[in-house]
Structure 1
Amino acid sequence: MTDIAQLLETAGLTGRGGAGFSTAIKLRAAKENGAELIVNACDGEVGAIKDAWIVAHHLHELIEGAGLVADGRRPRIRYAAHRGSRTAQVLEKAGLPVLEVPHRYVSSEETALISLALGGLAKPLTKRAPFVFGGRDSHGRRVPPTVVLNAETVWRISQISHLGPEWFRSYGTTAEPGPRLVAVGGYVARPGVYEGSAGVALTDILDAAGGLPPDARHVGVGGLGGVLLTAAQARTTIWDSPGMKSHGGALGPGIVTVWNPAECPIEIAAGLISYGAGESAGQCGPCMFGLPALAADWADLARNPTGSGRDRLALRLGHLERRGACAHPDGVARFATSALRTLAPEFAAHANHTCQKGRTQHAQYA
């Protein structure tokens, strides 16, 4: 019998949920420890829709991939999806065990799903042990060995088993091989899910959705935990880790959103930051107090761009990173830092009342 973990190691598959960890290492640990499996199909990031697309169009391969992770064992397999979503309905209709997840931003985080599976709240665990080995959580509860894999990761496992590592490595780069799904949304002609790969131009991904409109001014990459680029930067950026790192970002969960140029970008950013502040799990100071203060600082700076608000905002951002119980405040801080830098020319126009007006909700750009 083919060793699926060896195939994945040869292929170089890494997690497609954003973290980019080696899938082969996870699978070996899961097998050695008899780990249960949670397939994360929540589309938890702002602008994410690819998990729903996989469930709608490749459910059979998804189920097969989950079986390959089990590798002849009989671990418990559950499929995580937001309660009442179309994804949950499709999974339930197929007779699959569904872990129903609340509609909260942090609810689909890896340890939040583990907590929910244990009968607790869907909140990230403050003790961030590698639970594929089992152990006890921050509340002292015993955690059985559990591995969480993104739906696209599980689908790619099925593909590699049929098409081989060489097929997989024919896409992407040596360091970041394989095809990757990208959700392209916002101000484009054909929003949807498209196949991309590391190393292609960001404009190639946008071309699949009708291209970057000539009047577009800003492009978000990675959702609320990502970064904001100018249209000029987007036209010259390579979509891989080095290319995104040069802008302070990463490949992340595969999300590209073109912002509507008819709307004030400072207001769009304010809406996203405010949304992030409202999605706190309420477990640590950086989230409970830091993010609302960040949102207030951003709003103050938008009202008075010529004051000392920029320095205060920058100081606030420095107090958020790497201090939270989970990565949520880090992600919002990363986005706010990027937006503050990218929108520097916009603040002057905002102060002079010459920018495009219009307060928007984050969901319009998801």
Structure 2
Amino acid sequence: MSVVSVLAEAGLTGRGGAAFSTATKVEAAHAHRAALVVNACDGELGAAKDGWVVAHRLPELVAGANRLAAGAPVSYAAHRGSETAQRLHAAGLRVLELPARYVSSEESAIISYAQGGLARPMTKRQPLVRGGRDSEGRRIRPTAVLNAETVWRAAQILANGPDWFRSFGTAEQPGPRLVSVSTPVAYALVVETEAGAALTDLLDLAGGLPDGSPGVLVGGLGGTFVAAADVPGLRWSDASLGRVGARVGPGVAEALDPRECPLAYVQRCLTWAAGESAGQCGPCMFGLPALAADWHALVARGDRTAYGRIRSRVGLLRGRGACRFPDGVAGFAGSALDVFGDHLEQHRAGRCDVAELRYAPETDGRRTGVHVG
């Protein structure tokens, strides 16, 4: 059987968030003799699994990339100065060191940077695996981007067979998968699991959902908040998470700290997101800062009119950007409005019952590391 046929039989989908058929993407790459870029950036908030693959499964990753590339050039994308980039360089691989920006790890941003452009998303009219020209008329050579975990899983399938892969997970989402889990006591612990695992079991591996926590963020900055009361009944699959408007996405989950007002947590994320614009479209350049400012007005001053402005901006941002970054942030904010209604009423009344503790994930004192099991 061909590589494409084996991947199709296994049902492997991308582990970077889009969950697109890997077999379909690899088939198109072969048809257009596309170069391959392995994305190991871990660009989402709380993500660490691709760095884990590079740190612990690099020979398998390289073997998988070479099989999937079928003789085409292979390179590896990582954020500039990261441990992942250092490991890739030490292995003698061709490395694309991208600016440590949120949008720089988006597929078209990686391709733009690989071909001499800026590391920012391109407005495109067709899949870049086919090549062609971007909206500015610049010629784009055929290039495929695959997430590092996806490439590692492909290597496992080629070594162990589709039946082995399908012995994990569900019929709709087969195979083992990595998830980066964060709680108030642990940040970005990488756990190996499968679709269908209980969400509480995943959180327990990193310290659990603490009493009084307002909920869990699934999917990072482009993800969805899940109320704490809903967590015990959920499993790590699109079918189960879909009941509360969430999906597996890029494989990150964070239990919120009960000592911090969830609206203050959202405010920190929105403020950071507003500074991550690629600077090429209005929704990012103006819409996100305005959304962050309105959120601040609601949280810090109890501005009663801010809620209506936030609702309006959430609707206006979707579908208007040069990439999906504004869509993801708008969904993130809209989800917070829906899930944290009690806290919203407190702030609209000019008070907050939660003592706010602001911290950055990198410096908040939580233990870090990996756990596989």
Map Cα deviations across residues 244-286 of structure 1 (whole Å, 9 max, x no partner).
2222222111001112211221111100011111101011111
- For 2:59, the equivalent position in structure 1 comes to 60
Q: Secondary structure at the match of 1:299?
A: helix
Alignment of 1:124-143 (within 5 A): 124-143=121-140
Alpha-carbon offset, residue 355 of structure 1: 2.0
Q: Give distance in 1, aligned partners of 2:263 and 2:359.
A: 10
- More displaced, 295-304 or 74-83? 295-304
Q: Give distance in 2, aligned partners of 1:210 and 1:274.
A: 28
1:339 to 322, 325, 336: 336
- For 1:102, the equivalent position in structure 2 comes to 99
Map Cα deviations across residues 64-97 of structure 1 (whole Å, 9 max, x no partner).
11011023xx211100001111000000000000
1:256 to 250, 253, 256: 253
Q: Is the 8 A contact 1:268 1:361 kept in 2?
A: no
Structure 1 residues 110 and 128: alpha-carbon distance in aligned structure 2, compared to 1, 3 A threshold: farther
Q: Is the 8 A contact 1:290 1:320 kept in 2?
A: yes
Q: Secondary structure at the match of 2:27?
A: helix
Map Cα deviations across residues 203-252 of structure 1 (whole Å, 9 max, x no partner).
12112223323343321111111111222222222221122222222211
- For 1:46, the equivalent position in structure 2 comes to 45
- Letter of the 1:355 partner, please give it: V
Alignment of 1:297-308 (within 5 A): 297-305=294-302, 307-308=304-305
Q: Is the 8 A contact 2:343 2:352 kept in 1?
A: no
The yes-or-no answer on 1:315 pairing with 2:308 is no
Alpha-carbon offset, residue 199 of structure 1: 1.8
Map Cα deviations across residues 129-184 of structure 1 (whole Å, 9 max, x no partner).
20111101222121111000000000001000111111111111111111110001
Aligned residues: 363
- For 2:15, the equivalent position in structure 1 comes to 16
The yes-or-no answer on 1:84 pairing with 2:59 is no
- More displaced, 194-203 or 15-24? 194-203
Map Cα deviations across residues 99-147 of structure 1 (whole Å, 9 max, x no partner).
1100110000000000001111000001252011110122212111100
Q: Give distance in 2, aligned partners of 1:285 and 1:306.
A: 25
Identity across matched positions, percent: 53
Q: Secondary structure at the match of 1:220?
A: strand
Q: Secondary structure at the match of 2:96?
A: strand
CA RMSD of aligned residues (A): 1.7
Q: Give distance in 2, aligned partners of 1:326 and 1:316.
A: 17
Q: Is the 8 A contact 1:172 1:197 kept in 2?
A: yes
Structure 1 consecutive aligned stretches of length 4 or more whose deviation exceeds 6 Å: none
Alignment of 1:125-274 (within 5 A): 125-188=122-185, 191-274=188-271
- For 1:34, the equivalent position in structure 2 comes to 33
- Letter of the 2:272 partner, please give it: Y
Q: Is the 8 A contact 2:195 2:237 kept in 1?
A: yes
Q: Is the 8 A contact 1:271 1:362 kept in 2?
A: no
- For 1:287, the equivalent position in structure 2 comes to 284
Alpha-carbon offset, residue 290 of structure 1: 0.6
Q: Is the 8 A contact 2:187 2:361 kept in 1?
A: no
Structure 1 residues 213 and 359: alpha-carbon distance in aligned structure 2, compared to 1, 3 A threshold: closer
Q: Secondary structure at the match of 1:238?
A: coil
Q: Is the 8 A contact 1:219 1:257 kept in 2?
A: yes
Structure 1 residues 295 and 142: alpha-carbon distance in aligned structure 2, compared to 1, 3 A threshold: same
Q: Is the 8 A contact 1:81 1:88 kept in 2?
A: yes
Q: Give distance in 1, aligned partners of 2:228 and 2:37.
A: 38
Q: Is the 8 A contact 1:268 1:362 kept in 2?
A: no
- More displaced, 104-113 or 244-253? 244-253
Structure 1 residues 197 and 10: alpha-carbon distance in aligned structure 2, compared to 1, 3 A threshold: same
Gaps of 5+ in 2: 369-373
Q: Is the 8 A contact 2:131 2:142 kept in 1?
A: yes
Gaps of 5+ in 1: none
Q: Give distance in 2, aligned partners of 1:243 and 1:79.
A: 33
- Letter of the 2:161 partner, please give it: G
- Letter of the 1:41 partner, please give it: A
Q: Secondary structure at the match of 1:330?
A: helix
Structure 1 residues 334 and 346: alpha-carbon distance in aligned structure 2, compared to 1, 3 A threshold: same
- For 2:371, the equivalent position in structure 1 comes to none
Q: Give distance in 1, aligned partners of 2:39 and 2:332.
A: 24
2:272 to 271, 275, 290: 275
Alpha-carbon offset, residue 364 of structure 1: 5.6
Q: Give distance in 2, aligned partners of 1:298 and 1:100.
A: 34
Q: Give distance in 2, aligned partners of 1:347 and 1:314.
A: 13
Q: Secondary structure at the match of 1:319?
A: helix
